[in-house]
Structure 1
Amino acid sequence: MAKAKYLEIADAIIHQIDIGHYHEGHKLPAHRALAEEYSTTAVTVAKAYSYLAEQGHIESFVGRGSFVKSRSTLKQAIQSQLVEDEWNFSILQPCLGSAMEQIHNAMSQCFREALKPELFGYIENTGCSAHKQAGMKWLQQSSGLQIRSAEHVLLTNGAQHALSTLIELYSKPGDSIAVEAQTYPGILSIINMLGRTAVGVELDEQGMSPSHLQAVCAQHQPSLVVIVPSHQNPTTRTLSLERRKAIASVIQRHHTWLVEDDIYSFLNTEVIAPITNFIPEKSFYISSLSKAISPGLRTGFVKAPQSQVDKLAAHIRSMVWLASPMTFEVAAQLISSGVAFELAKDQKKIAEQRQVIARTILEGERLESQYNSFHIWLTLPEHVNTDEFVNTAKERGMFLSNGRFFCYNESYSQSIRLSLMSIPDQTHFEIGLRHLKTLLDQYQSSI
């Protein structure tokens, strides 16, 4: 059955929005003008506009017209759809292949071997003790975190839930939150939605600058400092042990909390002590299985200072009561059996292979990465407009993350973030990279 005319028009407008031809705030054509273009009636166009408004794409005002509605920065920077004839280089996740079978086996085993009443009811203290024990094992072995008791571990629905919980609880509307000058859009989205203000801390070749953090703390007195110390998103930089100690020293001198989001620590060649180890009484440490195994498990672990465990647990209980015990049962099974660590090693190996492929295909381009990072921070030639390049790539089926979405103040960036892991099939991945290289060469030859 043919699609209704108004839906065809709506789909065409959505496409124009997606590729950037209709930008945020753009005024759409009048009903009669668009009706002529599509050989239909103004009534049909009005129906299309009404549908687009219901779906949240546009907003209409009597006497003024219809305009493209503002869209989530996070949604623009990170797109999760996987379409066979497209290449999604925008989302950082594990390369899901053989891991899915092992996760499925762990799920089957968990719910086949024993019926545990605690998995189906309410649990005090934000989760089962066995799940916290598994979390402690993951934190210790994947990152070298020093932790004396599993009671210091709280369970969340992934790292993003942990971040939003900590920002909401340990700051108030209007407060400053110090972040890396280029950082993960999910952090910025939380800060903006909760009415806080992000303050950028400059990065050097190692990562966050201790001297600039000192200046930011002195001037803005941030409630929290959020940092990604390993394979930083988007720059891929990893803080050395000396740099981590320097950051800890700055935090120690100021009335602020550290939130150490270390979800990529499993990629480090050698264990590097977390910043939290040096200031355990002033730091919250976050990890999860989302990058190492699967984001679908939604299993996050927070190591809290002993003085804050009860306060944080009470807040989690008030907001969501507890993270799903069923998914944590699967996570605990994977961790205790050692499968989780093997899967993490497999992802690290795939990342190493794809970095080699990417560096070979993109030879001559200005890019920054570590040899086992999940992504690349690619700087475009100076004459290339990043917004235009990203939109053109999207028209050709390549989804890239515009660097400006990683800037704490959304300033223009000459860079893009390129994920190497979200395309499962390696041949399809290589084809996508070659298409990207062709586009880069075309822009370079247009000088």
Structure 2
Amino acid sequence: MSIQDKARQRCSWLPSAEVPEGPRYKTLANQIATAIATGELKPGERLPPQRLLADALQVTVGTITRAYREAERRGLVEARVGSGTRVRGMQADTPDFHHLSRATTDSIDLSLSVPIPNPLRAQQLSAVLSRVSEQASELGSALDYQSEQGSQRQREQLAAWLTEQGLATDAKDLILTIGGQHADYLTLQSLIRPGEAVASDALTYPGMIAAARQLGLKHLPVSMDREGMRPDALERLCQRQRIRLLYLMPEHNNPTAAHMTQHRREEIVRIARKYDLLLLEDGVQFVRSELRGTPFYQLAPERSLYIFSVSKILSGGLRFGCLRAPGNLIPQLCAGLRAQCWASPGLMGSVACEWLGSADSSLLIDWQWQELNARHALLEKTFSGYDFLGHPCGFHAWLHLPEPWRTSDFIDQAAQRGVTLISPEPFCVGSQPAPQAIRICLTPPAHREALEIGLNRLAELLAEGPRLTAPLV
């Protein structure tokens, strides 16, 4: 039996004997697309190894590699180190947000980055709604169609509040958005063309990954360390690829909790100017002014955009925020927003701005800050001696698992002990391999006592080590 025949027998899928029209790799990518559309290839199914398929088709490995890359560029498949190239399904196409409803009632949920539950939120919202309902002029304005950029009054209120927090800005530079995720998507859709490249930390916010993927953008990972994105790795990438935009979380990376120093920010700006990159800074994880570094829009105002949202300080359900952008980009962004949804909802903006501007919000934010301090102290005490990274204002910490732990085993065994965690897979950009590390969210439990129980269970699990499994035979 020939090498080709043996290879064909071992392949889980083979393309039809179609006569190539144009480059062979594009024909193969088209055949993958057809097989997925007809159901011949199912979501999650692994494509044959490249060498094996090359032998079966009597083509070079390079041809198969290009075909798989073309299929990945089209969003048909996804390559992961160690698991090959698989057909994208619902979970592959969209980073896993399904954990929002996954924790059981008897499990301690440490998987979500959400504001700490407090009855004050509902009480304050009730009072805010009452006050807004009594303001006839505000209600009338909220019920009208808004401009693409958003209500002038609300932008002025938001600009004043941000300036008080040490984030000096002007209302004319703001576009009101339906939360931070909307600002991510709006920026990419309005300023970046399909097929162009954007870059971010190798581990980053799943919403950004989803937005880039949905828009057909090439999303490239940049290596990180404990200070976040490495400038040397970014410069090497820029020398090889034409990058249009760089997405940054300099204050508190999600999921690694890395915080960028001033020197590193200046290095990123130097590279951005050298290679003409737009900078999109995600400031949704609110950090107090005394702990915050210089925002990129102050370091490089001509090329920097900044995202703010009330999700982490008031409520994720409000879906209200803003995008600060250079004046020359405002028209493009407004045109994009108009095409998406016309404008952000005026009533939601009225509620959020009334709440932010009240003494109530300061009370709530201060309480959350103090509670976060206490929870981080608890984390540091519980995991003393282990390699982890956190931030005083952060909702989560990043724990590197000691050998011989593997993340999947740790998550499974934690679940058996009544603690819910999520895999780092949704945070991985492109083919970046998932690290043997875990994000631990400190904020979902309403009571510190429940958090302490959950952390202790994880510490006990670490101390015991993974359970041995029977060897494969």
Is TM more than 0.5 here? Answer: yes
Contact 1:266 1:292 in 2 (8 A): no
Q: 2:444 maps to what in 1?
A: 422
Q: 1:117 aligns with which of 140, 163, 184?
A: 140
> Any idea what SS the aligned residue of 1:416 has?
strand
Percent identity (aligned): 26
Contact 2:44 2:89 in 1 (8 A): yes
Q: 2:262 maps to what in 1?
A: 241
> Any idea what SS the aligned residue of 1:124 has?
coil
Alignment partners' CA distance in 1, 2:293 and 2:105: 39
Alignment partners' CA distance in 2, 1:346 and 1:78: 29
Cα distance per residue 1:306-325 (max 9 Å; x no partner): 11112211211121011111
Does residue 145 (structure 1) correspond to residue 167 (structure 2)? The answer is: yes
What is the CA distance between 1:24 and its match in structure 2? 4.6
Q: 2:225 maps to what in 1?
A: 204
Q: 2:67 maps to what in 1?
A: none
> Any idea what SS the aligned residue of 2:302 has?
helix
Does residue 355 (structure 1) correspond to residue 384 (structure 2)? The answer is: no
Gaps of 5+ in 1: 1-22, 27-66
Q: 1:133 maps to what in 2?
A: 156
Q: 2:188 maps to what in 1?
A: 167
Q: 1:218 maps to what in 2?
A: 239
Query: Letter of the aligned partner of 2:196 in structure 1?
Result: D
Alignment partners' CA distance in 1, 2:114 and 2:410: 24
- Structure 1's 394 and 189: CA in aligned 2 closer, same or farther, altered over 3 A? farther
Cα distance per residue 1:202-235 (max 9 Å; x no partner): 2223221222222222221211100001111112
The number of residues matched between the two structures is: 383
What is the CA distance between 1:256 and its match in structure 2? 2.1
Point out the more displaced range, 402-411 or 190-199: 402-411
Alignment partners' CA distance in 2, 1:410 and 1:126: 37
Q: 1:385 maps to what in 2?
A: 406
Alignment partners' CA distance in 1, 2:433 and 2:273: 31
- Structure 1's 187 and 75: CA in aligned 2 closer, same or farther, altered over 3 A? closer
Q: 2:318 aligns with which of 260, 276, 297?
A: 297
Contact 2:405 2:465 in 1 (8 A): yes
Query: Letter of the aligned partner of 1:281 in structure 2?
Result: E
- Structure 1's 223 and 69: CA in aligned 2 closer, same or farther, altered over 3 A? closer
Alignment partners' CA distance in 2, 1:359 and 1:24: 39
Map 1:178-197 to 2 at 5 A.
Answer: 178-197=199-218
> Any idea what SS the aligned residue of 1:402 has?
coil
Q: 2:91 aligns with which of 47, 71, 92?
A: 71
Q: 1:102 aligns with which of 117, 124, 136?
A: 124
- Structure 1's 377 and 271: CA in aligned 2 closer, same or farther, altered over 3 A? closer
Query: Letter of the aligned partner of 1:79 in structure 2?
Result: H
Alignment partners' CA distance in 2, 1:172 and 1:68: 22
> Any idea what SS the aligned residue of 1:401 has?
coil
- Structure 1's 418 and 213: CA in aligned 2 closer, same or farther, altered over 3 A? same
Map 1:370-381 to 2 at 5 A.
Answer: 370-381=391-402
Q: 2:460 aligns with which of 424, 438, 441?
A: 438
Q: 2:347 maps to what in 1?
A: 326
Alignment partners' CA distance in 1, 2:406 and 2:396: 21
Query: Letter of the aligned partner of 2:444 in structure 1?
Result: S
Contact 1:157 1:299 in 2 (8 A): yes
Q: 1:258 aligns with which of 274, 279, 294?
A: 279
Alignment partners' CA distance in 2, 1:135 and 1:381: 45
Query: Letter of the aligned partner of 2:131 in structure 1?
Result: Q
- Structure 1's 151 and 268: CA in aligned 2 closer, same or farther, altered over 3 A? closer
What is the CA distance between 1:341 and its match in structure 2? 3.7
Cα distance per residue 1:350-392 (max 9 Å; x no partner): 1111111122223333211123421110111221121122133
> Any idea what SS the aligned residue of 1:191 has?
helix
- Structure 1's 74 and 401: CA in aligned 2 closer, same or farther, altered over 3 A? farther
Query: Letter of the aligned partner of 1:349 in structure 2?
Result: Q
Contact 2:111 2:421 in 1 (8 A): yes
Q: 1:88 maps to what in 2?
A: 109
Gaps of 5+ in 2: 1-42, 47-86
What is the CA distance between 1:68 and its match in structure 2? 11
> Any idea what SS the aligned residue of 2:99 has?
coil
RMSD: 2.5
Q: 2:52 maps to what in 1?
A: none
Alignment partners' CA distance in 1, 2:309 and 2:117: 16
Query: Letter of the aligned partner of 2:441 in structure 1?
Result: S
Point out the more displaced range, 306-315 or 437-446: 437-446
Contact 2:286 2:393 in 1 (8 A): no
Q: 1:229 maps to what in 2?
A: 250
Contact 2:142 2:347 in 1 (8 A): yes
Point out the more displaced range, 77-86 or 288-297: 77-86
Contact 2:191 2:333 in 1 (8 A): no
Cα distance per residue 1:403-441 (max 9 Å; x no partner): 233221341311010110012122222222222223223
Alignment partners' CA distance in 2, 1:246 and 1:238: 14
Q: 1:282 maps to what in 2?
A: 303
What is the CA distance between 1:91 and its match in structure 2? 1.3
What is the CA distance between 1:153 and its match in structure 2? 0.5
Query: Letter of the aligned partner of 2:279 in structure 1?
Result: L
Contact 1:247 1:275 in 2 (8 A): no
Alignment partners' CA distance in 2, 1:339 and 1:243: 36
Alignment partners' CA distance in 1, 2:340 and 2:88: 34
Alignment partners' CA distance in 1, 2:366 and 2:252: 15
Alignment partners' CA distance in 2, 1:307 and 1:362: 48
> Any idea what SS the aligned residue of 1:439 has?
helix
Alignment partners' CA distance in 1, 2:98 and 2:201: 19
- Structure 1's 445 and 369: CA in aligned 2 closer, same or farther, altered over 3 A? same
Query: Letter of the aligned partner of 2:280 in structure 1?
Result: V
Query: Letter of the aligned partner of 2:157 in structure 1?
Result: A
> Any idea what SS the aligned residue of 2:204 has?
coil
Per the normalisation by structure 1, the TM-score is 0.79
